[in-house]
Amino acid sequence: MNTTFTIDGMHCQACVSLIRMELEDNGFEDKVVSLELKDDNKGELVLEGIEENDVQIVSDLIN
C-alpha cells in the first residue's frame, strides 16, 4: 500500500535532493515510489509498504 505525504516549503530541486538524501540515510530508499515538486512551494512524497510507526519517523525526518 502506498502512503502519500504532502510537504510544505519545498521550492526547488535542492530541497528534493535533501529530502531524498535524508530518506536514503535512514533506510527508506527502497520504499520511495516518487518525490516530486508541486505548485505553491509544496512537494509530494509517495512511499510504499511502510509501517504505521514509519509515518511518524518519515514526518520527523522531513520536518
Partner 1 sequence: MSKKNKPNNQVTNCTLYVEGMHCASCEILIERKLLKQDGIDSVDASLKGGRVDIKYVGTEKPNLEGLNKDFKSLGYKFSDKQFKRDITPAISFKNGGLSINPKKFKNYLRLIIISVSLLVAFYFFQELKLGQYVSVDSKSALPAFLFLGLAAGFSSCAALVGGLLLSMSKQWNEIYIDKDSNREKAEPHMLFHLGRITSFTILGGVLGLLGEKISLDNLAVFATITIIVSIIMFILAMQMLGVDKFQRFKFTAPKSLTRFASDETNFKGRYMPFLLGSLTFLLPCGFTLIAQAIALTSGDFIRGAAIMLMFALGTFVPLMMISFSGVAFNSKPHLTAKFNIVAGLVIIFFAIYNINGQLNVLGLDSLNDIFSSSEQGEVVTANEEGVQIINITAKGFEYIPTSSTTIKAGVPTKIIVDNQGIQGCAYFMAANGLIDNYVSLNKGITEIDLGEPNKGQYKLTCSMGMVKPVDIFVI
Residue 54 to residue 40: CA distance in whole angstroms? 27
Q: By rule CB under 8 A, what string of x and - marks binding of each residue 34-53 to partner 1?
A: -----xxx------------
Q: Does 61 bind partner 1 (CB under 8 A)?
A: no
How far is CA 39 from its chain centroid? 16
Residue 42 to residue 54: CA distance in whole angstroms? 21
Of 39 and 51, the one with the shorter C-beta distance to partner 1 is 39
- Which residues sit at the interface with partner 1, rule CB under 8 A? 8-9, 11-15, 17-18, 21, 39-41, 63
